[in-house]
Structure 1
Amino acid sequence: MTLAAPIRVLVVDDEPLARRNVTVLLRGDSEIEAVSECGSGAEAIEIIGRWQPHLVFLDVQMPECGGFDVLELLGTELPPAIIFVTAYDEYALQAFEVGALDYLLKPFDDARFYRALQRAKGKLAHYAAEPPTRRLVVRSPGQLLFLNVSDIDWIEAASYYACVHVGRDTHILRRTLSELEGDLGDGFIRIHRSIIVNLDRIQGIELQSAGEYEVVLKSSVRLRLSRRFRKRLQERMGAMAAPSR
């Protein structure tokens, strides 16, 4: 499989031996350009922001900042492919809900590891080659509905599904918010861990009396703006200062 560019991989685990096992397997692959390691979630966030790896092997349970904390704190700046590596099987569903590509349960054999790596390569090849999605397909019994991405106002996560709001209509997709965010491209932005908004639909940002911010859409819909995503939204909207009271 030929990729658009060699792959940079980050291995995150608080156990040095576990990191080493993954690193040794990766270094035997000619398509892996570079492999970096770190032993904490906080360090992973710093390296991901600076180094921009294509693929991250991420431990679930680490002191102070676990794998799910890392993804939450990264917000919209997630690597294209994430594979969770853990000794605990009870987090698998949660991992896929947040957009993980695979879930490696320790101890795993070489064959299982390489299957996960091949899946990652496939996703990265698609990620590099495909332009942003222009239409979403909504499947229901006996029907396929094609939604123009430009018509979407906002999308919210709902358990295992995503609710796509187009005017007064709501359509249900069995996809994660992270998957949709990656497909939709730069015209959409996350404003909350469970909400993505079409930038063209945003009318303004308002500060409420309780100190919380809301994004106001042109349709008059009001959506909570998480503090974590506020700065990036303001930068994208060209707002250099926070709204005043």
Structure 2
Amino acid sequence: MSKLRVLIVDDEPLALSFLRSTLIKLDSIDLVAEAKNGREAIAAVAKLQPDLMFLDIQMPGMNGFEVVQALQIQKMPMVVFVTAFDQFAADAFDIHAVDYILKPLDAERVSRSVERALARLAGNSSDVTNVGSVASISERLATDQKQESGRESSDGIKRKLLVRDSGVVKIIPFDDIDWVDAAGDYMCVHANGETHIIRITLGELMEKLDASLFVRIHRSTIVNIERVVSITALPKGGSLLELSEGTTLKVSRNYRESVRNFFQ
């Protein structure tokens, strides 16, 4: 029996690694390529023409439905959608996806998806991806993502931050955030004793946060001003902030006036 040529597409390294390690153990699978975003996926399908594609739905840039919409129907592989959300399951089957599996992933569930794909291939199913219905689905997904990326209160200020952590999307109220610091291209969000790492610039994050609650105290640090319990002056113009959870943060001279204004 010929093997299924498989492409896996996911922007999360942990999910990509799990799919890879699970699929290569299956005798029926030939893993031909991996992609980290929609553009790479489209290029891989055009070049390699895989039989089956494990496709993440929510990715930066192009979402999974937009990837399907962009592919040429004659080169369309069977699709297993992978996501942390369950609200698009019906849509996935409306466009004749082989399967729809939820994160966090488990090996048995991935194996069942492969079995479904093999059964469809063996039966020479006439089911093809219904590209015509994908446009409205991808538009709705884009709208939902914009709404969920920051629910707004009645005063127009976004109050929640979405953080993807090992395939699970966590919703963190801004009021729960103690402080944030930059780590390269990522931000470390410290909230309720936990640290969440997200890929966003400090400037982009500042645009999302409530300017009446958060202040920048250093070129790489933001603090929730309501967490500050004491301020200690330092020589040469700097100062130290002590937070209610015990962390001590340094305020650089360039941001001293911004911090002072919050307490006037």
Using structure 2 for the length normalisation, give the TM-score: 0.47
Amino acid at match of 1:13: D
1:88 positional shift? 0.6
| Distance change in 2, residues 1:67/1:78 (3 Å) | farther
Amino acid at match of 2:119: G
Indicate the residue corresponding to 2:63 in structure 1. 66
1:116 positional shift? 1.3
Query: Where does 1:93-132 land on structure 2 (aligned, <5 Å)?
Result: 93-127=90-124
**Residue-by-residue CA offset, 1:89-113 (whole Å, 9 max, x unaligned):** 1111111111211001001322222
Indicate the residue corresponding to 1:193 in structure 2. 132
**Residue-by-residue CA offset, 1:52-105 (whole Å, 9 max, x unaligned):** 000100000011111000111114135342100000111111111112110010
Residues in 1 aligned to 2:102 and 2:113: alpha-carbon distance in whole angstroms: 11
1:125 positional shift? 1.9
1:38 positional shift? 0.7
**Residue-by-residue CA offset, 1:8-55 (whole Å, 9 max, x unaligned):** 100000011101100101101122123311100011001101100001
Are 1:75 and 1:193, in contact at CA under 8 Å, matched by a contact in 2?
A: no
Indicate the residue corresponding to 2:87 in structure 1. 90
Residue ranges of structure 1 left out of the alignment (5+ in a row) = 134-178, 183-189, 195-245
Are 2:23 and 2:31, in contact at CA under 8 Å, matched by a contact in 1?
A: no
SS of the residue corresponding to residue 32 of structure 2 reads strand
Residue ranges of structure 2 left out of the alignment (5+ in a row) = 134-264
Amino acid at match of 1:193: G
Residues in 2 aligned to 1:108 and 1:48: alpha-carbon distance in whole angstroms: 23
Q: Percent identity?
A: 41
| Distance change in 2, residues 1:78/1:90 (3 Å) | farther
SS of the residue corresponding to residue 61 of structure 1 reads coil
Amino acid at match of 1:40: N
Query: Where does 1:1-245 land on structure 2 (aligned, <5 Å)?
Result: 3=1, 5-127=2-124, 179=127, 181=128, 193=132
Indicate the residue corresponding to 2:220 in structure 1. none
SS of the residue corresponding to residue 28 of structure 1 reads coil
Are 1:13 and 1:19, in contact at CA under 8 Å, matched by a contact in 2?
A: yes
SS of the residue corresponding to residue 123 of structure 2 reads helix
Q: CA RMSD in A?
A: 2.1
Give structure 1 regions of 4+ aligned residues with deviation exceeding 2 angstroms: 77-80
Amino acid at match of 2:93: F
Residues in 1 aligned to 2:86 and 2:35: alpha-carbon distance in whole angstroms: 23
Over alpha carbons, which structure has the higher Rg?
A: 2
Amino acid at match of 2:123: H
Using structure 1 for the length normalisation, give the TM-score: 0.50
**Residue-by-residue CA offset, 1:116-175 (whole Å, 9 max, x unaligned):** 111111112223xx7xx7xxxxxxxxxxxxxxxxxxxxxxxxxxxxxxxxxxxxxxxxxx
